[in-house]
Amino acid sequence: MSHAAEKNPSKKDLNKIKPYGDHWDDGKMQFSFTLPVPAGELAREAARLYLEKLGFVHPMVATMEPMGEGYTFFVAYGYATASIELSKIPLHKPEFPVVPHDQLVDLAHKQVRRKIVVIGATTGSDAHTVGIDAILSIKGIAGDKGLEYYPFFKVVNLRAQVDNRHLVDKAVELKADAILVSKMVTQQDQHLEDLKVLSKMLREEKRLSPHLVRVAGGPRIDHRIAKSVGFDAGFGPGTKPSEVANFIVHELIRKISGAPAHSAPHRVDGEGHAPSRPKRRSLFGWLGGRGKDS
């Protein structure tokens, strides 16, 4: 197919796709990997046969370099036969409306009537602060202002290398409504271990708000992963603070109203013509006991 489809776009199936190497649908892929075998002819053949075992057609090792004693690093090519149908891919995204800034301010003002306390940190031994700063700091990222810009948020950024226990204690002390955790270092799945431990602590800490919104983020975090370790939502690369602001407000209101999670409306981007929302019971019962600007 491929060459013909390249010349005649109408022959391209834009739904059922394969990797693109030299031409449409050729399935050509590049691999880089290491095998625990010294560099040499045996290593090269092992790498080639391994790709063949994985189902790649005509595998070819382009580069082989020793990687310390007893290891070899390869760059190889091969042709994939499998294709993927885009229309059958389930996307794991948090579902919530995204409304413009003024509407969100209005919503928070009318429905919450006090500051929403947001506490954020990068946890464990992870020293990366840029991601969490991008979400929280007033300067934001790519022209999208951070949570500090929103008049209804009280933002506390604990920065990096924050111990889980310290984060939970701070959340209790500040009466947090939302906890935002950034994870950058993912070696040996340390990010997931840390998030699981934190999640358990949050579940067991009775002094926290029962409506606490838990959000995780980072380059290798997505919604599915975050949910699997007990968070309400996960945000990955390219996240804009305005999305996070929208999620927190809508999720807090949803939790307080007692609406089930799956009834949250689908995410609506742009000008925020959100679908009509279910009637909620008054928030003031729960909010009444808290300072307006606490």
**Cα–Cα dist 213/178, whole Å:** 4
Dihedral (CA of 288, 282, 270, 233) sign: positive
Question: Which range of residues in 2-10, 64-72, 103-111, 213-221 is near ligand B12 by CB under 6 A?
Answer: 213-221
- For the chain, the straight-line distance linking the first and the last C-alpha, in angstroms and rounded, comes to 65
Q: What is the DSSP pairing of strand 84-85 with strand 16-17?
A: antiparallel
Instruction: Indicate whether 132 belongs to the interface with ligand B12 (CB under 6 A).
Output: yes
Question: Which range of residues in 9-17, 51-59, 77-85, 217-225 is near ligand B12 by CB under 6 A?
Answer: 217-225
The residue from 104, 108, 116, 134 that contacts ligand B12 (CB under 6 A) is 134
| Closer CB to ligand B12, 111 or 157, in the complex | 157
Instruction: Indicate whether 148 belongs to the interface with ligand B12 (CB under 6 A).
Output: no
Question: Which range of residues in 88-96, 185-193, 202-210, 266-274 is near ligand B12 by CB under 6 A?
Answer: 185-193
Cβ pair 157, 135 in contact under 8 A: no
| Closer CB to ligand B12, 56 or 96, in the complex | 96
Q: Which residue among the candidates 12, 93, 139, 170 is catalytic per the annotation?
A: 139
> Could you please report the per-residue DSSP string of 208-250?
S-TT-EEEEESTT--HHHHHHTT-SEEE-TT--HHHHHHHHHH
Instruction: Indicate whether 219 belongs to the interface with ligand B12 (CB under 6 A).
Output: yes
The residue from 131, 150, 162, 248 that contacts ligand B12 (CB under 6 A) is 131
Does the active-site annotation cover 115? no
Structure tokens at 175: 């009466």
Instruction: Indicate whether 127 belongs to the interface with ligand B12 (CB under 6 A).
Output: yes
Give the rounded distance of the alpha carbon of 250 from its chain centre: 18
Least CB distance to ligand B12 at residue 230 (A): 14
**Cα–Cα dist 123/117, whole Å:** 19
Instruction: Indicate whether 257 belongs to the interface with ligand B12 (CB under 6 A).
Output: no
Instruction: Indicate whether 128 belongs to the interface with ligand B12 (CB under 6 A).
Output: yes
> Could you please report the per-residue DSSP string of 255-276?
HHHT--GGGSPPPB-TT--PPP
Residue showing the smallest CB distance to ligand B12 in the complex:
217
Residues annotated as part of the active site? 139
Q: Residues interacting with ligand B12, by CB under 6 A? A: 125-132, 134-135, 141, 180-182, 184-187, 215-219, 235-239, 244
